[in-house]
Structure 1
Amino acid sequence: MKPVVSAMQAWSCTVLSVFAILILSVLALLYRSGHEQLMGSINDPADGKAVSRTVFTAVFVYIGFFVFCGLQGMLHVRENRRGAISL
């Protein structure tokens, strides 16, 4: 199986996905718990659990990016170990 994206793009996407998963998970947990800094103003959302579900949906999308890009990076590693010539 051949990689679809370049090695640099694959590893960059993997690293960015890890950070996005961590940051968005923390935000979703804070919204779910009704943290005062996020829910305390009249301009903030009234239903923190609905916001939390939406943010967790974004986390699952980034998990998909992480898996896809990680597999692409591993394909590059496997291809380089075989001694393939990269152009």
Structure 2
Amino acid sequence: MKPFFSALSAWSCVVISFFAVIILTVLGILFKSNHHAFTGSEGSPEDGGAVAGSLFTAVLVYVAFFVFCGFQAWLHVRANRRGAISLH
């Protein structure tokens, strides 16, 4: 199977998705627990659980990106081991 995207794009997507999952998960946990720094002021959302639900949905999307892009990166690594891709 051939990769759809370049190796640089695949690895960039893997790194960005990894950090997005971590950051959005932490934010989701803080909103779900109604942490005062995120829900304590007048301009803050009143329903922290709804915001947390949206954040966790975004986490699932980024997990899917991570898996897909990781598969693409793995295809590049596998192809490079066999010498199928040569840029010389």
TM-score interval for Structure 1 and Structure 2 normalised by the shorter chain: over 0.9
Map Cα deviations across residues 38-85 of structure 1 (whole Å, 9 max, x no partner): 000111101000000000000000000000000000000000111113
* Structure 1, gaps ≥5 residues long: none
* Structure 2, gaps ≥5 residues long: none
- Structure-2 residue corresponding to 1:24: 24
- Structure-1 residue corresponding to 2:33: 33
Q: In the aligned structure 1, how far is the partner of 2:58 from the partner of 2:27?
A: 11
- Tell whether 2:59 aligns with 1:59: yes
| Alignment RMSD (CA, Å) | 0.8
Q: In the aligned structure 1, how far is the partner of 2:2 from the partner of 2:72?
A: 9
TM-score by length of 1: 0.97
- Structure-1 residue corresponding to 2:78: 78
One-letter amino acid of the structure 2 residue matched with residue 73 of structure 1: A
How many matched pairs?
Answer: 87
One-letter amino acid of the structure 2 residue matched with residue 85 of structure 1: I
Structure 1 residue 36: Cα displacement? 0.3
Q: In the aligned structure 2, how far is the partner of 1:40 from the partner of 1:52?
A: 15
TM superposition outliers: structure 1 runs of 4+ over 2 Å: none
Q: In the aligned structure 1, how far is the partner of 2:12 from the partner of 2:62?
A: 13
Could you tell me the percent identity over the aligned residues? 60
